[in-house]
Structure formats: C-alpha cells, structure tokens
Amino acid sequence: MDPVTLIVLAALVLLLLYGITLYNNLVRLKHNVSKAWANIDVLLKQRHDELPKLVETCKQYMGYEQQTLEAVMRARSSVSEAREAQDVKALGKAETQLRFGLGNLFAVAEAYPDLKANESFQHLQSRITGLETAIADRREFYNESVNLNNIRIEQFPDNLVAGRFGFRAADLLEFEEEQKADVDIRALFG
C-alpha cells in the first residue's frame, strides 16, 4: 500500500472515530435531559399525591375559603395533565398557578390557629414545602442539562452529527413572572 493511501485511510478512521465520539456525547446529553426530567416527574407525582390530603385537612377548618382550596385543586389537575403529556411549557404555566395557590393557601391558613396547630397540617405543610424545594433543585439540574444539550447540538461540528441523527433541542422549565413576585398577604385577608 502506498503512503498516500495509508494517510487517507488513517484520516478517514480518525474522522470516523471523532464522529462516533461526538454522537456518543450527544446521546449522553440527551439521556441526561431525560434523567433530569424523570427526577422532576417523581417529585411532581409525590406532591400530586400529598395535595388532596392537605386540602382535606384544610377543609375541616377553612369553611369559608373554598375558592382558595378549589384553585389549588384546579392547578394540581393542570400540573398533572402537563406532566403526563411531558409538555414542559404547559407545566411551567401550571406550576406557576399551583405555587401561587399553595402560597395563598399557606398564607390564609395563618388566620386559622386551630389549623396551624393541627399535627396533620403541619406534617403536610412541611412535606409539601420540602417537595417544593426538591423540585426547585431538580428544575435547576434539568435546565442545566437542557442548556448543555442545546448548546452542543448547535455547536460546530456537533451540529452536523446532531442534524444527521435527529437530535432536537429541549425546552427549559420556566415559571411565569408572577411566580417570582411576593404574595400580597394584605389582599388575602382584606
């Protein structure tokens, strides 16, 4: 075999190995996004199961706050539908409503000393607050995984491999601006 053929063959082998490495890295990133979503999904399911217990406990004490309780349950349903459909944009909107509803519920509960003293309420409030913190942590990891995935599939030469094998950008899990605003406690008790 002549030296030119060996050089061309070696270059092709190196190019093939480089392409395989790029492909494997993109697969790893794609699966990291899926894993991060699965971690959020587990926590959303746990919170989904806890919310009816919280609402039932509150109903015993908060007879006149039916609107607040119904808003939490409607938002819970919306989160569940978006989660099952794996619709990240709809989930972000539904999460905003649910977090707002929970904030209102916990703020209104302050007006009911018997409810605040109830051991079941305290346990459920603590459990849901812990789940909220865990969801926020997992959301951060998910968004970081999505960001890394999206950057890599747009970078050259990764974009050549990504386009050829159908790798797609993923959506960030974002909450609406009202989620970031403080709850107006005076309006809740006014």
pLDDT for res 142: 94
CA pair distance 73, 56, nearest whole angstrom: 11
pLDDT for res 177: 57
* pLDDT tens digits for range 31-79: 999 999 999 999 999 999 999 888 888 888 777 678 888 889 999 999 9
What's the chain's average pLDDT? 87
Residue 97: name the closest of 124, 121, 116, 70 by CA: 70
Q: Does domain 3-189 have CATH number 1.20.1440.20?
A: yes
Compute the average pLDDT of residues 163-184: 74
CA pair distance 136, 92, nearest whole angstrom: 12
Compute the average pLDDT of residues 17-36: 95
Sequence-distant (≥ 6) Cβ neighbours of residue 132 within 8 angstroms? 47, 99, 102
pLDDT for res 180: 46
**Does the structure show a pLDDT above 50 at 147?**
yes
CA pair distance 168, 65, nearest whole angstrom: 45
**End-to-end CA gap in the chain:** 90
| Beta carbons of 183 and 107 less than 8 angstroms apart | yes
Torsion of CA 49, 44, 136, 52, to 10 degrees: -30
Compute the average pLDDT of residues 103-118: 85
**Does the structure show a pLDDT above 60 at 20?**
yes
Torsion of CA 165, 148, 176, 49, to 10 degrees: 80
Residue 72: name the closest of 41, 21, 106 by CA: 106
pLDDT for res 106: 87
